[in-house]
Amino acid sequence: MELIEPIYQYAWLVPVLPLVGAAIVGTGLISYSQTTSTLRRPSAVFIVSLTGAAMVLSFLLFFSQAQGHEAYTYTLEWASAGDFKLTMGYTIDHLASLMLVIVTTVAFLVMVYTDGYMAHDPGYVRFYAYLSLFSSSMLGLVISSNLLQIYVFWELVGMCSYLLIGFWYGREGAADACQKAFITNRVGDFGLLLGMLAIFWATGSFEFEVMGDRLIALVENGTLTAGVVSIFAILVFLGPVAKSAQFPLHVWLPDAMEGPTPISALIHAATMVAAGIFLVARMFPVFEALPTVMTVVAWVGCFTAFMGASIAITQNDIKKGLAYSTMSQLGYMMMAMGVGAYGAGLFHLMTHAYFKAMLFLCSGSVIHGMEEVVGHDAVLAQDMRLMGGLRKYMPITSTAFLIGTLAICGIPPFAGFWSKDEILGSTFAVSPVLWAIGWLTAGITAFYMFRMYFSTFEGEFRGTDKTIQMQLKREQLMAMGASLGPGAMNPQELTLDPEADDDPDNHHHASTPHESPFSMTFPLIALAVPSVLIGLVGTPFVNYFEAFIHPPSEAVESLLPWSEAFADFEWSEFLLMGGSSVGIGLIGITLAVLMYSSKKIDPAAIASQIRPLYQLSKNKWYIDEIYDAVFVKGCRNLAKQVLAVDIRIVDGIVNLAGFVTLVTGEGLKYFENGKAQFYALIVFGAVLGLVLVSGIG
């Protein structure tokens, strides 16, 4: 015990170490920009080493918690005024230690991967500084001891994500995506802030369990109604809705793919989007006592899962497809939280973090290989219609992608099966309707993921097909509003021919892609291991995960030995629920094989027969168009009306007041002659007039 305690006393180093790396390299970029920019490899090694040290410390804390060490909390007084006190500090408990391991391992591997992916980017050092600052912010968030401190790091995570999404700020798409992420998250964060302040007003505390206990007591004694408290909780929930890309604040996530691919793996697998699920877990003592709030959380998650999957079906951009897949899987986690399956939701968060990070890094590897053939054009390098047959050129990447695909499809024994099956089983016990939607979503997931795999890695390589390249460029220009008819004078049309590109950085080097360097394939291999095996810690026979991660109000009995638990296990329910989820997944896989591998079913023919549904999916349920019409154009029209009122009424009143003052002043100056007799005459005239008016009245 004496050897363990110092680990907890220095646990604050976990977020501080990446912060030190970001601060030193960032200061160098600001003060000695040219020199620091040339120190590419030393800067990267320095930051990766500090993150690795944080990872080692995180594993030590996790193993200590797994061995039964009690939760450790260190606090100090932050501010005080009379009886009002604010504290800050850190908490290391089961949930925090798990999140530390997830964040540090994924961040470390992403940083290693970045060395190869961003090797020729002029912003190489700056990117590492941003990565390190982002990792520090997320690590600070997961060990925060109260809601107020979480909010501080919550905003820091958001700020870093905007820097990373808009990293290539010279691209219009990246700049727009950054703005969209900022505005959308502002909506959710404002709700979170209002909910925090309302709960503090009611309870006088930002401590999670204290807030839950006091809110329950206030409802029981009639001080507050359950409806009012539910409104407070739903306002808090708006923060996770935005951060974890839940409907209706999901629109920023697909556009965020404009950032470099390593960011997609970090933000959209294990950190930023997971922060919303983590906050719901921390707020579980408040949420679980409010049935209305739990119902809202469950249905928002369920609808998001289905919507994300339905949109992913028609995506041709490999990163956009994975983005909507992330949105769908986050919906599963949120649905689990809503039905009270606390452990199942966090279990899926863990498994998803590893296999989805691997899938994103695989997509980056594919893009890196495609750029050798088609140049540095995202339209050509990321569209699956221009890929195909990459398995023989990129065997490591294709194998890792297949493992991730099997995991997310819920095929045993891969990690995703155990976590998704537990979510569906827990959901069925609460609401068969929610289960049915989740079950159908699982089939859709299997279909679009294998569609992505077959389109990318199987068949013939299509990267050099000029007809497809011309088609993709034409679609891009039409989406940008370019005129392609006779007499068109849009200069963008000059780039319609892929070969007519004068950009020196857009050069082609090969006719076929090749496997990525070891710095990029090593993280894929490392992430493939947990994608296959980590689900075994949460089997229904002996669920070590739920014995470790459970709600604060729930006591878990000690687990039986594996042999006894396996012998006493009720197989009928497991085979029914697990078999149904695997069955719908196999149906989805079979359809994908028939459409995109054996070519026995024509996808275009099916799309034409269900064109309204196809267009609904292709256009992302028209959510962006609705928001543009209601909010963007609506705000602009409102601004125009306000401007018109300002010009015609407000300015008119001001101008009239000025004119009256001018005329009055000009008139009065002729009465100012300095003679007392004249002033007396004026007063006499005024009094006489008043008397006459009064007499007439």
**Whether the Cβ atoms of residue 130 and residue 533 lie closer than 8 Å to each other:** no
Is the pLDDT score of 487 beyond 60? no
Residues 6+ apart with CB under 8 A from 124: 37, 40, 44, 118
Q: What are the pLDDT digits (tens) for 434-476?
A: 999 999 999 999 999 999 999 999 989 888 888 888 888 888 7
Is the dihedral angle over the CA atoms 482, 486, 490, 491 positive or is it negative? Answer: positive
Is the pLDDT score of 315 beyond 60? yes
Q: What are the pLDDT digits (tens) for 322-347?
A: 999 999 999 999 999 999 999 999 99
Place of tokens 């306002």: 235
Which pLDDT band, with edges at 50, 70 and 90, does 4 fall under?
low
Q: What are the pLDDT digits (tens) for 12-27?
A: 999 999 999 999 999 9
Under DSSP, is residue 383 helix (H, G, I), strand (E, B) or coil? strand
> Between these two residues, 657 and 76, which has the higher pLDDT value?
76
> Between these two residues, 679 and 95, which has the higher pLDDT value?
95
Say how many Å lie between the first and final Cα of the chain, rounded. 100
Which pLDDT score, from 0 to 100, does residue 1 have? 45
Lowest average pLDDT, out of 17-31, 469-483, 485-499, goes to 485-499
Is the pLDDT score of 524 beyond 60? yes
DSSP secondary structure string, 419-450? Answer: HHHHHHHHHHHH-HHHHHHHHHHHHHHHHHHH
Is the pLDDT score of 483 beyond 60? no
Which pLDDT score, from 0 to 100, does residue 670 have? 59
**Selection from 149, 108, 156 nearest residue 134 by Cα:** 156
Backbone angles phi, psi at 459, to 5 degrees: 80, -155
Taking the C-alpha atoms of residue 396 and residue 444, their distance in angstroms, rounded to an integer, is: 26
Q: What are the pLDDT digits (tens) for 254-280?
A: 888 888 889 888 888 778 888 999 999
Q: How far is CA 333 from the centre of its chain?
A: 13
pTM score, two decimals?
0.88
Lowest average pLDDT, out of 369-378, 384-393, 665-674, 687-696, goes to 665-674
